[in-house]
Amino acid sequence: MTTESEQLVKDIEDMKVKGAYQITKVALEALGLRARELAARGEAPTPALRAASSRLAAAQPSMACVANGCGYVLGALGDELTPDQVVQVLAQRSQAFLAAFDEAQQRALHVGARLVRDGEVIFIHSYTGTLLETFRRARALGKQFRIIATESRPYCEGRFMVSELLKLGIPCTIVTDASIGSYIDRADKSLVGSDSILANGNVVNKMGTYLLALACRDRGVPLYAAGNIFKLSMASLRGDEVRMLRRGDDGTVAIAPPGLPADAPITVENTIFDETPARFFAGLITDQGVLPPPAIAEFRNHPMLAASA
């Protein structure tokens, strides 16, 4: 029988949960449920919770805020705590982390909405809850603008993003990913999200962001990545490799040509994220304002990040 906590972990692994904040929230909820399940059985919770945290981080290896959140809530656990005390500590620290994350996100949205100019055309890539809410705020300020969005294959998150933008009354043009170079010079600026921001200012985001950055540089279109400081990768600060989420032909999308024999000498590479060098960005849209990308590392000593290091 699948427990509630196990189901939440599987939902994250199966990419049924979208958006960095929501994924982090569900990950912390899964840890809290696991702690209560273990307490109900009278089992020692700390080793199992650390294993669950590692599994959650592995499910979204390119998303720093998941590792940061799990690291923070587990950082106060010790063998001297009873199972009931562990449940209480996890609940308190999860609430504190999510509240701080949300506050930072609200400030970043304010910065982003101010960066949107009336009458401009903005090029975006993939779905990002941060940009969707940024555009919602910009519209609430009375700004009129247009969006050019990629499909963002193979999962086509860009189509979902466009459907949400249309609900806000924002005119959109959707293009194939391969058309980025042909359409980028129609935009005044390009905005993307970020799943992680590395210590050197490089940005991990949906596959294709690097190609978009190259096109922006060639055409002189300024590129910005949005993300609050909770997306700073503490792993990169330690010098650890930041792994990119990869999937094969998983039944949701089919990349390989159909009808191949089982022994066909073909390998499917379906990497979900890529790493774009800091030098391609005009700035990072953060809760601390628009920053030069390498400046993100200055926040390494934030108490909720340092606790997860």
pLDDT in tens, 154-186: 889 999 999 999 999 999 999 999 999 999 999
**What is the average per-residue pLDDT within 73-78?**
87
Residue 308 above 70 pLDDT? no
Q: What percent of the chain stands above pLDDT 70?
A: 95
- What is the structure's pLDDT at 307? 66
Options 14, 185, 188, 195, the catalytic residue: 195
Closest of 178, 273, 291 to residue 226, by C-alpha: 291
Verify whether residue 195 is a known catalytic residue.
yes
- What is the structure's pLDDT at 303? 87
Mean pLDDT over each residue of the chain, to the nearest integer:
91
Q: What are the residues whose beta carbons fall under 8 Å from the beta carbon of 147, sequence distance 6 or more?
A: 121, 122, 123, 124, 135, 162, 165, 170, 171, 172, 173
Residue 48 burial (C-beta neighbours within 10 Å; 0-12, 13-18, 19+): middle
Q: How wide is the angle at C-alpha 138 spanned by C-alphas 123 and 207, nearest 5°?
A: 30
- What is the structure's pLDDT at 297? 92
Residue 116 above 80 pLDDT? yes
Give the pTM.
0.91
pLDDT in tens, 239-296: 777 776 666 555 556 677 778 888 888 877 778 889 999 999 999 999 999 999 999 9
* Residue 304 or 166, more confident: 166
Q: What structural domains does the chain harbor?
A: 4-106 (1.20.120.420), 119-298 (3.40.50.10470)
Model confidence band, residue 68 (pLDDT cutoffs 50, 70, 90): very high
pLDDT in tens, 205-235: 999 999 999 999 999 999 999 999 999 999 8
pLDDT in tens, 92-115: 999 999 999 999 999 999 999 999
- What is the structure's pLDDT at 245? 65
**What is the average per-residue pLDDT within 42-62?**
86
- What is the structure's pLDDT at 253? 62
- Least confident span in 28-32, 63-67, 117-121, 252-256: 252-256
Residue-wise burial string across 257-290, b where 16 or more C-beta atoms lie within 10 A, e elsewhere: eeeeeeeeeeeeebebbbbbebebbbbbbbbbeb
